[in-house]
Structure 1
Amino acid sequence: MLTEQVIARIYGKKRGWCFTPKDFLDLGSPATIWQTLSRLEKKGTIRKIMRGVYDYPEKNKYLDGFASPDPDRIARTLARTYGWTILPDGNTALALLGLSTQIPAGWQYLTDGPNKHYTIDTISITFKKTALRETAGLSRASAILHQGIKTLGEEHITEDTIKRIGEYLAPGQWKKTIRECRYIHGWIIETMKKAAQSAEENQK
């Protein structure tokens, strides 16, 4: 039965998974998928975030009910659905990298798609069309590192900052990242190398 297949796929993901009807089109027609998700939303199995976007909500750790939707997951879901490449920009990159404890007032992304802005309750997500030359071919983790370090600025790189950047990836992942970013020049790649060394030393 279609409903059982849809539920099985949702439950097979971790709570917090964000999705659209397009993620289930291999199971049925667009119309039946929309109807199924609508029924599950009314039952409280899933949560509707905006038209055509849902999540399997995470439980609130401190209060009854569910946690707020994750803006970055919403952004990535929209990008996946429409075939955009996106890159966290500015304070968004710093927050994802763990270099800022402040929640961004607006979540901003560079994209090869169109300029778009979404407001969902108190969540603001903006996509700005631009050429993503600097991070072309990089994995998401490498691109976030590049953009976060660039946003921070060379003058704000300290030993403590390098240590915190080093904690973003496991030592084994750093080796792959440094190879991937080998064509990035200047202080950004040097900061990455120092962060990788810090991660390795902290593992000992």
Structure 2
Amino acid sequence: MELYNKVFYFISGHGRGWAFSPKDLLSKFTRQEADSVLSDLTKEGKIRRVARGVYDYPKYSKLLKKDLSPDIEQVARAYARKFNWRIEVSGDTALNLLKLSTQIPGNYLYYSDGPSKTYTLNDGAKIEFKKSVLKNIGFKYKESSLLVQALKTLGKENINDKVIEKIRTQIDDSMYEKILKDTKSSTVWIYETIKEVCKNG
């Protein structure tokens, strides 16, 4: 029971929505310990298996009274850690994750320095990793990468108050300072837009 609680405490400590593979637990537990507890936690509905070898600690909607779909960005990052890849979100996927695109893709594209692969999640969504040269890999936070890729894809001429407000609702304001430091080296107009997004009050 103690091991069970320790593993669950470790997972839940990352917050709701976190996606992971058993590899993420190996700094604290053996593979055998991780596998046996993950199986129990899944059976009891504490965590969810979202694809082969990938789990999440699902976000729950009180309004809908059910677990929400997996956080695609978190799942992509779980794969990246699992295989030691560096990844970068594609522009269209960034637009979609920031709710700026009306199109609902079942297919989310990430660029990677690993092999080209596609994974289908249990809910039918597909995450495609495409081998390519990564340009914006220097960002420390996933939010920074999402913002820069989305803005670049939208184009300067399509940025307005409505767009900025919509982006703002998708970014946790506790990340503002970190994003501003992280994206300083971006193109001037992109950084100016990010400053507008990350205004408090």
Normalised TM-score (structure 2): 0.80
Q: Contact 1:99–1:164 at 8 Å: present in 2 too?
A: yes
> Offset of 1:122 from its aligned partner?
1.8
**Equivalences for residues 3-152 of structure 1 within 5 A:** 3-120=4-121, 121-133=123-135, 135-139=136-140, 140-152=142-154
Task: State the Cα deviation string for residues 41-62 of structure 1 (Å, max 9, x = none).
Answer: 1222221112221112222333
Q: For residues 152-163 of structure 1, what are the structure 2 equivalents within 5 Å?
A: 152-162=154-164
Indicate how the Cα distance of structure 1 residues 2 and 149 shifts in structure 2: closer, same or farther if over 3 A, else same. same
Pairwise CA RMSD of aligned residues? 2.8
Is the 2:25–2:34 contact (alpha carbons within 8 Å) kept by the matching residues of 1?
yes
Shift of 1:32: 2.6
Q: What 5-or-longer segments of structure 1 have no aligned partner? A: none
2:143 is paired with a residue of what secondary structure?
A: helix
Comparing 46-55 with 89-98, which one deviates more in the overlay?
89-98
Question: Which secondary structure does the structure 1 equivalent of 2:50 belong to?
Answer: strand
Q: How many Å apart are 1:152 and its aligned residue?
A: 1.1
State the AA in 1 paired with 2:189.
Answer: E
SS at match of 2:67: coil
Q: Deviations over 1:143-174 (max 9, x none)?
A: 22221112112342335435545665759936
Are 1:192 and 2:195 an aligned pair? no
Larger Rg belongs to:
1
Q: Equivalent residue of 1:54, what SS? A: strand
In the alignment of these two chains, the number of paired residues is: 197
Distance in structure 2 (CA, Å) of the matches to 1:113 and 1:73: 18
Structure 2: runs of 5+ lacking an equivalent: none
SS at match of 1:108: strand
Divergent runs of 4+, >6 A: none
Give yes or no for contact 2:156–2:189 (8 Å, CA) kept in 1. Answer: no
Amino acid across the alignment from 1:196: K
SS in 1 for 2:61: coil
29 and 89 in structure 1: CA distance in 2 versus 1, 3 angstrom threshold:
same
Q: What is the aligned-residue identity percentage?
A: 39
The residue that corresponds to 1:173 in the other structure is 176
CA-CA distance at 1:128 after TM superposition: 0.8
Kept in 2, the 8 Å contact 1:166–1:196? The answer is: no
Q: Tell me, in whole angstroms, the C-alpha distance in 2 between the residues paired with 1:55 and 1:172.
A: 22
Secondary structure of 2:100's aligned partner = coil
Contact 1:59 1:65 in 2 (8 A): yes
